[in-house]
Structure 1
Amino acid sequence: MKTHLLSIVSLFCLLFTFQSRGQEVQLKVGFDTSKIKVQVVKKRFFIPLKLIFESQNLSKEELGAYTLNLMINQDETDMNNQFYKLHTESFSLSGLNEEKTVFLEIASDSLPERKSKVVIDINLLGENKSINQINKAKHQKLEVFLSRGIPTDGPNQFHIDFVGTANLQQNISEASDEVQGSAGLGVIFERYFLRREDNGHIKSEYRNKLVESLDMEAYINVASSVDSLRADVDEMGVVTNQRNFGTYILNPVSPKQSIFINANIFFNPELNWSKGSWITKLISGANVRVNASNILWNYTDETSNLSKYGGAISFRFGFFHEFLPNNKIRDEENKRKYSIRLGLNYSSRNITGDISSESNDPFREQFLGTTDKDFSGWEPSFSFRLNNIIAEFTMPMIGGASRSDIEGLTDTQFQFSIRFVGGFSLKVNGKDENDEEEENK
């Protein structure tokens, strides 16, 4: 269920004053918004408004039944339609200093996509006629700002989603017309560290913290149409399709078995350091990505037929700038829907498995023309996301220790990928003990 933000822009207190028996009589009604937690049930806001009554020189005869009338001001409110309902409209005031809570229900579909203002007209009607007359003569209102989606906060400190995945991948420089395909299972984990005020801003005690949140996605491919790479050999025994092996090392998405882990660390956009606060305005966060797989490397000529299992690990770490505003992509409504990022990473590719052993150096050299096993360099990236489609362009510029050229791997390569993330989703909301203590305060 979606979680939404209630931002109280101003706190209006109602002051009713009249003269009785030669002395001033006062009845103050204020709204305590310090611990407001909006409840969302079936796309409806349930806004708890805590009323605090303070009275002076109020006689027992002037105590009794009161009705609180909250009406949505149609002229000043940004709502598409007017569905709202006030719960607990009537109550009795039996003491001089009391607290009462009323709930205002508003349908979230009534609000536009952007943050919208809701103006509530307030009237307190009691049995005492003089109070009613003064109340009608004054205009009291409470301004509230609501939006359909807000940065995750409160008790929802982490989320876990399980999703089905499917991948399409092809390098632009690859000679083959085939597109690799696979299917698998994935998990998406999100953890939020900073808490926000009702107005959406990060609480002051957290503004010196660098990390705002962490999200991680991991996918395991378990099925595919192909499970090996076969070398094409000429009459001299030279491998002629070296590019296929270089491309695999560059992006080790195995049709047989592979794992993909991508983690983003988002920095606090409201960082309040004496020096260096500009950092998070330029650098939105850090990215860590690991991609690893195993396939069968096959070499066949007129006299031999050899196969070795060989794996590859792709690792990259870097920083990125997110062009879309934080409250448009990190909220409950739009998370994992939209993104436009530009990144700069340092990446490496490493050959593992049986084929990486020293005894298999000659065998590996037949495929790649070198015995190098480790390659590294810079990797700029650009990506965007629209709902369940993620498109990414990367430009790895890597090389090995011997500086040997490997087609499809070394020097500057262009990589284009499209990833589809969808299927079924199981969401688990969690909270830690500190969250529960805060709610109970």
Structure 2
Amino acid sequence: MSPIRLSDLAFTLEAVIDEAFGQKAVWVIAETSDIKNYPDRGYCFLTLVERDTTGSSTGKETLAKLDAAIWRKHYHTIREFESATGVGFARNIQVLLLVSVGFNPVYGLRLEILKIDPSYTLGNLERERQAVLDALVLNHPDLVWLEAGQYITANQLLPRPAVMQRLALIAAPGSDGWRDFRHELTQNPFGYNFLVDEYLTQVQGKGAEKSICDQLERIRTSGVAYDAVIIVRGGGSQLDFGSFDTYLMGETVAGFGIPILAGIGHERNVSITDLLCHESVKTPTKAAAFLLEHNRQFEESCLHLRDRLSVAAREALQTAREQLDTETERLRFVMHNYFRDCHTDLAKKAVTIRHLDPANVLRRGYALILRNGHILTQRSTIQSGETLQIQMADGVVTVTSD
């Protein structure tokens, strides 16, 4: 067979591909890789890859790889995809693409991306996330379980301290999330003081979930009685939150022995960490606000109890004062009656005593027989011829007994 020129082969390939795919568009499922994005110029180059999903997680075989491009007229599809999904257009995303196939004798085979379907990526992310949750429920029923359609975890059921003051903070060093949280906490209008120990580490990117879990282990073995663990990070795309959607993070958070508050900076979606931690808020600033509000509620309850105690004390004193006045009035009445009765009784006794006075008795015609000044009351004690005195009302008469 005679050799042909490279250009002839290239032109032949161009004709064949154009005949098969010219003026046609096909939907393709692929994974993004090697992205070179030029927003200021309005185009993007990337590689689309298909990997063998049946292989091990550490070494999946590449089944196909093709270069692709998004030109200026279709560049808006990237913004629309990111807006619809909250996922930044980056590498290692499973996407459904509408592409046209083209071959250039100089630049070779390349796919032109016409449209990106956001619903497929969202569905795929949700399927992966649900698979992790299902595995956690299956493998750790004592830590994670479903109840009335809601995920309940051991961490969620931990008692919440009345005041959250001693805190362990997990954040990226110098990050916006770290800065926002600390500023909101320290500049609070109530003057609350917090003791915050920082466990700084990466919170996104490859290996971030292990770094976070390592810090949680440090907290667990620190021996410090923390009231809560706070995990914060600033905003970003959905892929930046991948470390919070892993099996390792879910398992660690669900079974952690200290209440975990997550403020990981995303408004659109809820991560596995959000679902399984003790309390979740949207941003680091709101995490600080949550702590302030929690402690403010305790202070207000104390102030309310103080007011109730003050009112109760005043009412008790008023009641006691009224009871004392009543009892004083009753005592005054009783004493008045008592003294009146005593006076009447004394008056009666005085009359009786006056009636029994010997002088008064003698005036009524009675007489006293005396011997040497001693009153005699029995006849048998008187001797014959004895000298006696008879005391009468008007004087004494001396007599001699027979």
Q: Normalising by structure 2, what TM-score?
A: 0.21
Bigger radius of gyration among the two: 2
Q: Normalising by structure 1, what TM-score?
A: 0.20
- Which has a greater percent of strand? 1
- Which has a greater percent of helix? 2
